[in-house]
Chains A and B, each alone.
Chain A
């Protein structure tokens, strides 16, 4: 990570970025597993350099990869994780059954984890991060490797469990829909640098109707000609984005292309989705 400064508010925050962008590194730095070579990190108001270990009492962590021991049952595993966090046996046992109840796990919680489906393993992984009632939980690619149905279930579980337990969420993912479903704030990073920080609702409001235009010839002349018609075009993706007002906008685009001696290769009405915004930012 390089020249990276970010102030993360409370709530459910998504860290979005392509593979290798630095999302997992960011989470591990915030968890104190990787030390920064320069700069400082403050988590929940505590300087990580001074208190790397004890801050983890207030943090839950769900790693990306499969990391749960197959030889234990779901109940045994969660109790062990509670004990390793410092809970008493009684408290860990009680909390384990409460969480598994919220996860709607019945008899299967007494089965060995090796018999669990991918979705159930992810849920158990989430539960271990919430076992001690942390103030914030770091979720590293929680839907990675799940089929669409299991993914939807996992997102609903994350929403349900964190809402009912009042836990802040830091969700690292490269899947946009995960952020849309869970988060109220998004941070986009790429190549270890902060690219964008925005409220998800505001970001969604930026979703507008546009006409995607691809032309041959002088783009500059075409944009100038459009401007004379009161239309501001922006570059986006493979061509230009022209805001759609009504069907007359199409005629204005054709006129501008003729007047600026440009060939019109493509003209298609499209919606700027979060995908487009993300791609723009990352590109």
Chain B
């Protein structure tokens, strides 16, 4: 699988992409401060995202009762899950070490 040509091309693409990202980040960090047009584009783009994207939907969360109830549910479930996972973790640990001692 790893030796197939199309897969090699895919891996090369991903590696190049990550290198591009890294150099893009370095360029962005070190380049001279944002020009006015960049700032304007940034502001208007953010406003656009707030109006017509998921960001905007999340901004309107306060008016969504269903989602709020869902958050409440996860908040209530969270400590229960933590306690359960603590118990499961220690039980598993003990069980696995016993199996190892038997061998």
Instruction: Indicate whether A and B interact.
Output: no
